[in-house]
Amino acid sequence: MSGFDPVWLALREPADRASRDAGLIEQAAAGLRGQDAPQICDIGAGTGAAKRAFSPVFPSGCRWTFVDNDAEVLAAARQACGPEVALRQVDLSLEPAPWPEGCALVTATAFFDLAGAAWVDRFAAALARDRLPLLACLTYDGVMRFDPAHPLDTAITSAFNRHQQTDKGLGGAALGPNATRFLVSALQAHGYRCRTALTPWRLTPAHQAGLIDTLVTGIAGAAVQIGDISAAQAEVWSADRKARLSEMQVGHLDLYAVPPAS
């Protein structure tokens, strides 16, 4: 489940690529080496950005299955990645274990903050049942920083984080900024070893003006929608952020989790 259009996914892909933790990606790659054509399942795959990011590090010959609920982004993935990639359109709210038989690694990007607690528990149980490792990148952690500061930054961030915990269509109220902590706890309950790394976006107008503009508009809109910020306040804040920002940071966490040794 992506819930986002291909234009947004293309806009964020360079920032995602720059932010993912190289050490955790290498650990995931090491777990695949020595396997014959390992099968990777990317859930909430969008247009295939994970494959583009991981392929230079993962062993050659990996086979990919992209899972998403959105036919439009899967069509874009087919166009971008070619016919050798398997596509599965799945309602992930009903199916927390969409990986194919023989899967060697499950991956996801900017996904688990959309999920509810009960869904994550079901996912963790299914992952443990099949003894699969997980590489989950760029899960939002609730931290945003703006330079220079604005008096409304804290209130806007707090309101946005509340909005991130509303129902996103994946098992009820979303975990939002608490997602990685909850996911780690759920996996550790099944004996998983979990490693995390901070992976914030560090955005500057010189390099990511379009992404900043889209983010600021979306953050302000969410803050108003949740009811904590007035439309007038959001308009003042948005105009200032778009005009004066020298840097914007959006916090994320990457996670690599491996099942217990048999």
In a domain, 51, yes or no: yes
Determine, yes or no, domain membership for 35: yes
Question: Does residue 164 fall inside a structural domain?
Answer: no
Q: What is the CATH number of the domain that holds 38?
A: 3.40.50.150
Which DSSP symbol is given to 5? -
Instruction: Quickly list H helices, the chain.
Output: 6-19, 22-32, 49-54, 71-81, 117-129, 153-163, 179-188, 205-226, 231-244
Say if residue 35's pLDDT is above 60.
yes
Task: Please indicate, yes or no, if residue 125 is contained in any of the structural domains.
Answer: yes
* pLDDT tens digits, 170-221: 999 999 999 999 999 999 999 999 999 999 999 999 999 999 999 999 999 9
Q: Given a cut of 90, is residue 140 above it in pLDDT?
A: yes
Residue 262: predicted pLDDT: 67
Taking 50 as the threshold, does the pLDDT of residue 57 lie above it?
yes
Per-residue pLDDT at 4: 65
Query: Quick one: pLDDT at residue 72?
Result: 87
Band of pLDDT at residue 168, cut at 50, 70 and 90: very high
Does 245 fall in a domain? no
Owning domain of residue 121: 6-143+170-201+251-258
- Which residue, among 152, 144, 141, has the nearest Cα to 229 in the 3D structure? 152
Q: Does the pLDDT of residue 50 top 70, yes or no? A: yes
Is position 162 within any domain? no
Cα–Cα distance for residue pair 38/43, rounded to 1 Å: 16
Contact 68, 93 (CB under 8 A): no
Residue 215, CA distances (Å) to 8, 14, 146 in order = 10, 15, 12
CA quadruple 196, 209, 10, 169: dihedral sign:
positive
In the chain, % of residues over pLDDT 70 = 98
Q: Residue 192 domain-assigned?
A: yes
Among residues 93, 52, 60, which one has the least CA distance to residue 76?
52
Assess if residue 209 is contained within a domain.
Answer: no
Return the structure tokens found at 130.
Answer: 């099949």
Residue 1 confidence (pLDDT) above 50: no
Task: Give tens-digit pLDDT for 247-259.
Answer: 999 999 999 999 9
For the chain, what is the domain count? Answer: 1
Quote the mean pLDDT of the chain: 95
Distance from the Cα of residue 223 to its chain's centroid: 21
For residue 2, is pLDDT > 60? no
Q: What is the pLDDT of residues 89-101, one digit of tens each?
A: 999 999 999 999 9
